[in-house]
Amino acid sequence: MSLVRRRPHFSTVMLIIGLLFLYLPMAVLVVYSFNSSRLVTVWAGFSTQWYAALFRDQQILSAVWTSLEIAFFAASMAVCLGTVAAFVMTRFGRFRGKTALSSMVTAPLVMPEVITGLSLLLLFVQMAQLTGWPADRGAVTIWIAHTTFCSAYVAVVVAARLRELDSSIEEAAMDLGSPPLKTFFFVTLPIISPALVAGWLLAFTLSLDDLVIASFVSGPGANTLPMVVFSSVRMGVSPKINALATLIILTVSLATFLAWYFMRRNEAKRQVILQQEDAG
Amino acid sequence: MMLSHLTTMFRRCQLGRRAVIAFPLIWLLLFFLLPFALVLKISLSEGAVAIPPYGPLVDYADQTLSIFLNLGNYLFLLSDSLYIAAYWGSVKTAFMSTVVCLLIGYPMAYAMARAPARWQLLLLLLVMLPSWTSFLIRVYAWMGILSNSGLINNLLMGMGVIETPLRMMNTQFAVVIGIVYAYLPFMVLPLYAHLTRLDNSLLEAASDLGSRKLNTFIKVTLPLSMGGIIAGSMLVFIPAVGEFVIPELLGGPNTLMIGKVLWEEFFLNRDWPIASALAMVMLLLLLIPIVWFHRYQSRELEK
């Protein structure tokens, strides 16, 4: 043992500082949600009154429901679209329109939201003029908009998994006479299902989180949670939003912890099996 | 090609193959590409007091077909220094934020990639977790921290370091902090992905050949992680140029950014043609970064 303690590596220090930078502001939000004062910045004692106020706020509660509904359907459709797009790009070799498809799959990842929002709104307005549909904008137009940009994220996640996947299993199935469609549903899909779950969850959180695109394509009827939060936050800080933030952070942390726990357990199981195979 | 055998099998059923390709292709053509053509179209039309608030491009009356292409919106953008200042402000702020993100994110990703294997998943989840909560709420958190009666000012004044509160809200500084905070996970993720794939034997070889650590880093690690640097930087820079929420909440009325200007033209002035022209020019500015990002991304997708 050396007497001189090893100086921690510069990058390790930066990692700790970076994580503190990411988590301290969220910790501040949580702490002040229990503040009894209306002023978010002055501590006046412990209270849960803002949580009670939050659960009495009908506008926020109905917005939560609208957002969850849109996110559920958008994520589900995005998984269908994104998976097919990823499959086509990784398994179909060359075809006409491949460049167009791959550009349209990667562009939404970086496209500024104001551009996507504006362009989709103009599309819906023109469609309404030409065909009469959509007569009024709301949950359905938000669903289409969210499905479109979320499917790009799903496609990237699923394509990464498909590339890693050994295609010889699919080839074997087809050599044994399984038609392509059957092979896809009974061989490929089960193997990539963890990526589908990951893609669905990512799309779900992205849809829940979107303010800008939803604001453009929404009509008078549909208010999503970010739209309600934004109009309240614009007026300044409000402890009710802190309470909401705390609940969101709690939910996401819990879900992440569960995901981590199961992934670690699966990994441990795999290690045991590998060791047994080595021994046997 | 490794996949050629599989590919030929898929080729056998042409009709089904076409239908499968058509599904995502048509959806994206309809809901992603076509809308851009409409933005271009509206940007060339004249504003009007109507629903929707723009004039037609093609008119057929008295047996004459007239096509109006109104370049006035673009000329207006050029003539008003407000818009040029907003574009410049956006590019400058986005660039500064990207550099800061890279300076913080690279060492973070490096430390994660070097960490013991059982730690890596946990660290990755810790970095990504904030981005799965709410973007809006994470920006909101900084309002309480940076404002004149906010946490930092209260702390500093309580300790007697400063007499009057520091003005941090409604400055470019606040906007840069907000962007760095919101986009840092998107910088770290591709960097980490590239750095974990880095072959350790290359680093060992360099050190065996007598290369110093810093030298190895500059000549081996940095070039091999270039793909991650570009992907991460583009994932921060491009959306940051069009950012609306952060300048609106943290930048106040003093910071000019193009996303905010576009939002105001659209929602407050209801000037759809000008908003469309602003979007077209923004797209033009971002075309090179987007194509650059796409080239790296599609290499990843197709290899």
Q: Answer yes or no: are the C-beta atoms of A51 and B264 closer than 8 Å.
A: no
3-state per-residue secondary structure call for A155-211: HHHHHHHHHHCCCHHHHHHHHCCCCHHHHHHHHHHHHHHHHHHHHHHHHHHHHHHCC
Q: Answer yes or no: are the C-beta atoms of A139 and A69 closer than 8 Å.
A: yes
State the pLDDT at residue A227: 95
pLDDT per residue as tens digits for the range B41-62? 999 888 777 778 787 777 777 7
State the pLDDT at residue A208: 95
Please answer yes or no on whether B28 and A148 come within 8 Å at the CB atom: yes
Let me know if residue B36 belongs to a domain: no
Q: Which CATH number does A58-263 carry?
A: 1.10.3720.10
Please answer yes or no on whether A107 and B52 come within 8 Å at the CB atom: no
Let me know if residue B20 belongs to a domain: no
Q: Which residue of A has its CA nearest to B242?
A: A112
Please answer yes or no on whether B130 and A22 come within 8 Å at the CB atom: yes
Full residue range of the structural domain in which residue B156 is found: 71-302
Let me know if residue B244 belongs to a domain: yes
In this prediction, residue A4 has a pLDDT band, given cuts at 50, 70 and 90, of low
Please answer yes or no on whether A236 and B143 come within 8 Å at the CB atom: yes
Chain B interface includes A256 (CB < 8 A): yes
The arithmetic mean of pLDDT across residues A265-272, rounded, is: 83
Let me know if residue B29 belongs to a domain: no
Any idea where the domains of chain A sit in the sequence?
58-263
Let me know if residue B28 belongs to a domain: no
Q: Nearest by CB to A91, which of B10, B248, B263? A: B10
State the pLDDT at residue A133: 81
Say what the pTM is: 0.91
**Helix H or strand E segment including A120:** helix A113-131
Please answer yes or no on whether A41 and B147 come within 8 Å at the CB atom: yes
Instruction: Count up the domains in chain B and report the number.
Output: 1
State the pLDDT at residue A124: 94
Q: Choosing among A7, A10, A12, A15, which should be mutated to test the B contact, i.e. which has the most B CBs within 10 A?
A: A15
Angstrom distances, CA of residue B233 to CA of A29, B22, B101: 28, 33, 8
The CATH number assigned to the domain holding B127 equals: 1.10.3720.10
Higher pLDDT, residue A109 or A1:
A109
Chain A CB contacts of B17 under 8 Å are 92, 95
State the pLDDT at residue B212: 83
Q: Which residue of A has its CA nearest to B281?
A: A115
CA atoms of B46 and B273, how far apart (whole Å): 7
State the pLDDT at residue A136: 84
Let me know if residue B281 belongs to a domain: yes
pLDDT per residue as tens digits for the range B188-206? 999 999 999 887 788 888 8
How many Å is the Cα radius of gyration of chain B?
25
Percent of chain A with pLDDT over 90: 54
Most confident of A1-10, A124-133, B45-54, B133-142: B133-142
Q: Nearest by CB to A256, which of B17, B129, B282? A: B129
Q: Nearest by CB to A122, which of B35, B147, B151? A: B35
Chain B CB contacts of A106 under 8 Å are 293-294, 297-298, 301
Q: Which residue has the tokens 């080595």?
A: A278
ipTM of the prediction? 0.90
pLDDT per residue as tens digits for the range A13-37? 999 999 999 999 999 999 989 988 8
CA atoms of A112 and B259, how far apart (whole Å): 8
Residues of chain B scoring pLDDT < 70: 1-13, 300-303
CA atoms of B188 and A11, how far apart (whole Å): 13
